[in-house]
Amino acid sequence: MAIYDYSFNDGKGNKVSFESYKGKVVLIVNTATGCGFTPQYKGLEELYEKYHEKGLEILDFPCNQFGHQAPGTDEEITEFCSFKYHTQFPQMQKIEVNGENELPLYTFLKEQKGFEGFTGLKGVLMNQVVSKFDPDFKNNANIKWNFTKFLVDRDGNVVERYESTVEPKKIDDKIASLL
């Protein structure tokens, strides 16, 4: 299967086919509104404003699987992001990214790009946190935490996976090169 074979629901419950993003560079992010990484919404919005007209789409998938840090309804999450971070990129329906109820799109993304490790100073802390609930986390492709990002090129290839410790501004050059 290719990424264009998958679909998901937008924040209002409408079915969206990934096919509608054909020819675009897409950044797919599982997010949470009550996480230490939540301020990354600001950087994501900056990327969106900078590159949207050139063909970048950001798809925000709220997920409550990590520390229950995405409480509330889809509408409440959208209101929070719009008010606090002025986000303009589309927000999808809250999903699961791991386990038997994971969104099939995420199964595909993890098959394409597995976990390669946390980076930076926050990486040391994340290694400690994640190892408490998944001792074998370094050896599986599961999403480890909120704000894991997948970058998809204009041809639908998953080209990079960035863990939550990677700030959006660190992805800027790669996005620019794909546009």
Looking at the annotation, which residues are catalytic? Answer: 35
Q: In whole angstroms, give the CA distance from residue 58 to residue 68.
A: 23
Looking only at the bridges linking them, the beta strands covering 25-31 and 56-62 are parallel
The answer to whether the beta carbons of residues 57 and 173 sit under 8 Å apart is no
Which two structure tokens, joined as six digits, stand for 66? Answer: 């990590």
The long-range contacts involving 102-108, CB below 8 angstroms and separated by at least 24 positions, are 103/8, 103/61, 104/6, 105/3, 105/6, 105/7, 105/8, 105/18, 105/28, 106/30, 106/61, 106/143, 108/1, 108/3, 108/6, 108/158
